[in-house]
């Protein structure tokens, strides 16, 4: 075990590609155990790629690349611009909304951060944003893709830990929207402080007649009032014991209701201010982007009702992307298709090499009973479930600063998942938290891949990025703390859709 850890740390410090780091370290372990032969290590490498469940990963990567070359990205960008142009820091807000909308398309935080920096970076520089702020907002907001389905991290967690991928997909929706809310608020506050991109006064070009605008406002008011009343009733029922809710779940359930009421109130205020100018534009844009927005919903509904398995959902995603790109948007051609296929081959090659090489390393961890030893150590500190989760998330955050997120999922899920189950914590709840924290690691020094990707695009010093990213990191950590102590916020949709 000592040689395994020594090789792992040494080659990681040397900057060797992570696939070879874990592969060589795994083989080094077999050198120290005489009765384990190299044929076993070779078989473990091959067996890692022989999972039917894991077929979803290359399919979803291919589907995301097809959607990117089929015009979906440009349509989602247009929708995000319309929704955020009346906000403070409107161009930076586009990044937050785009990450939420693109979560169902890209599934990758690094790809999303790079794409948004290339598209929005030049415009933000022109508007006076600093390079550090541009990289920070585009990089950290891409964290939303870690939970919005189809998240690659959730797929790998479900594959390794044998957790329902359908429930993981459903569980990621509320955390994703909640993170969007926190990051939009942070963007607004920091933009006001730095005086970035204040709302510009535009001509009062009404696309609706005064009568139709007044009617639309009344409809909006009635709909918002109904939403707020429903949310408040939802919050009050468990508190006044009108419905039966476990004692520990009454306050969290009420909190969800109050959060929904507040969100409805905020959205109503924003729409009221911009309604005469943008309502027709939103409708026109939705006709083009609705197919991308429906994608996560179709996945969850299809898995829930047995139309396809989680593995088959990846193949469905490819077919869906081809049909939408070719027959709806009419932008998918052979040149775009080959471009998406080439990118997919490169992406899958890198990911599959990491997965294959993790076989001997994972076997070594299990052989020396590291999960049992670590479990005894952590349970010796505390037996409180929330405290245990915080300790594990702290460890995951630290490892995420040095090791690729996919490697963390592959190596640490078998270690922590037994502890999670022993502590009585729902694996789906922990999976969403782990996906968020581990992916956050690619956005933090010293080795964050997304960090160096976005900084390299606009030539930004890492120090400037780190300084401007701190408010966003605080917002993310606050959201994670809420999810830790309010598991109902994560489990409400999967329990409602799939049952408990």
Q: What is the pLDDT of residues 323-354, one digit of tens each?
A: 888 888 888 889 989 988 998 888 778 778 88
CA atoms lying within 13 Å on the CB side of residue 149: 28
Distance CA 436, CA 230 (A): 30
Residue 315's alpha-carbon distances to 54, 58, 308, 332, 434, in angstroms, are: 12, 9, 9, 18, 26
What integer pLDDT is reported at residue 282 of this predicted model? Answer: 63
Distance CA 184, CA 203 (A): 25
Of 74, 87, 188, 67, the C-alpha closest to 120 is 74
**414 pLDDT exceeds 90?**
no
Contacts of residues 298-307 at CB distance under 8 Å and 24 or more positions apart, as own/partner, are 299/104, 299/149, 299/150, 299/169, 300/149, 300/166, 300/169, 300/170, 300/497, 303/165, 303/166, 303/169, 304/166, 304/170, 304/497, 304/498
pLDDT tens for 244-265 read 444 444 455 555 555 555 655 5
What integer pLDDT is reported at residue 205 of this predicted model? Answer: 40
pLDDT > 90 in the chain, percent: 9
Q: What share of the chain is helix, strand, coil (3-state, %, to 5)?
A: 80, 0, 20
pLDDT tens for 8-31 read 888 878 878 878 888 888 888 888
Distance CA 228, CA 424 (A): 34
**Mean pLDDT, to the nearest integer, of 380-403?**
84
Ramachandran quadrant class, 475 (left: phi over 0; alpha: psi -120 to 50; beta: rest)? alpha
pLDDT tens for 417-432 read 888 888 888 999 999 9
Averaged pLDDT score across all residues of the chain: 78
Residue found under tokens 């247009």: 78
Distance CA 161, CA 44 (A): 17
Residues 6+ apart with CB under 8 A from 237: 243, 245
Q: DSSP labels for 103-140?
A: TTTT--HHHHHHHHHHHHHHHHHHTT--HHHHHHHHHH
Residues 6+ apart with CB under 8 A from 382: 388, 391
Instruction: Write out 267-278 in H/E/C secondary structure.
Output: HHHHHHHHHHHH
pLDDT > 70 in the chain, percent: 79
pLDDT tens for 77-126 read 777 777 777 777 788 888 888 888 776 555 567 777 877 788 788 888 88
pLDDT tens for 119-163 read 788 888 888 889 999 999 988 988 888 888 877 888 889 888 888
Cβ atoms within 10 Å of 34's Cβ, excluding its own: 7
- Enter the tokens of residue 440: 């956050």
Query: What letter would DSSP give residue 146?
Result: G
**482 pLDDT exceeds 80?**
yes
What integer pLDDT is reported at residue 268 of this predicted model? Answer: 56
**184 pLDDT exceeds 80?**
yes
Burial of residue 121, with CB atoms counted within 10 A of its CB: 0-12 exposed, 13-18 middle, 19 or more buried: buried
pLDDT tens for 28-76 read 888 888 777 778 888 888 887 776 767 777 887 788 778 778 777 777 7
Contact in structure between 58 and 314 (CB atoms under 8 Å): yes
Coil, helix or strand at residue 247: helix
- Enter the tokens of residue 97: 């909304």
What integer pLDDT is reported at residue 222 of this predicted model? Answer: 58
What integer pLDDT is reported at residue 430 of this predicted model? Answer: 94
Separation of CA 470 from chain center: 19
Q: DSSP labels for 220-243?
A: HHHHHHHHHHHHHHHHHHHHTTSS
Residues 6+ apart with CB under 8 A from 42: none
Burial of residue 394, with CB atoms counted within 10 A of its CB: 0-12 exposed, 13-18 middle, 19 or more buried: exposed
């Amino acid at each position: 075990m000592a040689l395994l850890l020594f090789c792992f740390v040494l080659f990681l410090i040397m900057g060797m590609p992570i696939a070879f780091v874990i592969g060589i370290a795994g083989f080094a372990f077999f050198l120290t155990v005489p009765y384990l032969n190299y044929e076993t290590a070779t078989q473990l490498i091959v067996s890692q790629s022989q999972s039917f469940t894991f077929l979803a990963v290359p399919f979803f990567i291919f589907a995301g690349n097809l959607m990117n070359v089929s015009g979906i990205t440009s349509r989602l960008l247009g929708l995000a611009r319309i929704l955020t142009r009346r906000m403070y820091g409107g161009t930076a807000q586009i990044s937050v909304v785009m990450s939420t909308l693109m979560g169902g398309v890209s599934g990758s935080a690094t790809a999303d951060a790079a794409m948004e920096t290339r598209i929005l970076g030049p415009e933000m520089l022109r508007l006076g944003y600093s390079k550090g702020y541009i990289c920070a907002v585009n990089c950290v907001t891409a964290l939303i893709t870690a939970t919005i389905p189809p998240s690659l991290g959730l797929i790998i967690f479900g594959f390794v830990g044998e957790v329902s991928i359908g429930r993981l997909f459903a569980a990621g929706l509320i955390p994703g929207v909640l993170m969007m809310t926190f990051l939009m608020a942070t963007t607004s506050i920091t933009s006001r402080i730095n005086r970035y991109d204040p709302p510009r006064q535009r001509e009062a070009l009404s696309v609706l007649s005064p009568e139709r605008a007044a009617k639309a406002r009344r409809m909006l008011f009635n709909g918002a009032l109904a939403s707020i009343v429903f949310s408040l009733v939802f919050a009050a029922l468990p508190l006044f014991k009108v419905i039966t809710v476990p004692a520990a779940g009454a306050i969290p359930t009420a909190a969800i209701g109050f959060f929904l009421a507040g969100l409805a109130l905020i959205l109503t205020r924003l729409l009221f201010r911009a309604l005469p100018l943008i309502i027709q534009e939103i409708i026109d844009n939705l006709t083009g982007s609705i197919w991308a927005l429906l994608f996560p919903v179709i996945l969850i509904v299809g898995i829930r009702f047995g139309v396809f398995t989680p593995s088959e959902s990846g193949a469905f995603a490819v077919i869906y992307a081809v049909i939408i790109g070719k027959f709806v948007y009419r932008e998918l051609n052979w040149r775009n298709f080959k471009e998406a296929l080439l990118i997919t081959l490169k992406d899958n090659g890198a990911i599959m090499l990491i997965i294959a090489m993790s076989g001997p390393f994972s076997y070594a961890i299990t052989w020396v009973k590291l999960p049992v030893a670590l479990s005894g150590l952590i349970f010796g500190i505390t037996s409180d479930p929330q405290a245990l989760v915080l300790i594990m998330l702290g460890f995951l955050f630290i490892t995420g600063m040095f090791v690729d997120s996919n490697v963390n999922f592959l190596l640490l899920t078998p270690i922590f998942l037994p502890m999670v189950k022993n502590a009585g914590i729902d694996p789906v709840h922990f999976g969403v938290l782990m996906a968020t924290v581990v992916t956050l690691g690619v956005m933090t020094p010293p080795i964050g891949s997304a960090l160096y990707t976005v900084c390299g695009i606009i030539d930004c010093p890492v120090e400037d990025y780190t300084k401007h990213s701190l408010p966003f990191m605080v917002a993310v950590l606050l959201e994670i703390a809420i999810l830790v102590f309010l598991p109902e916020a994560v489990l409400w949709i999967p329990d409602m859709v799939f049952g408990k």
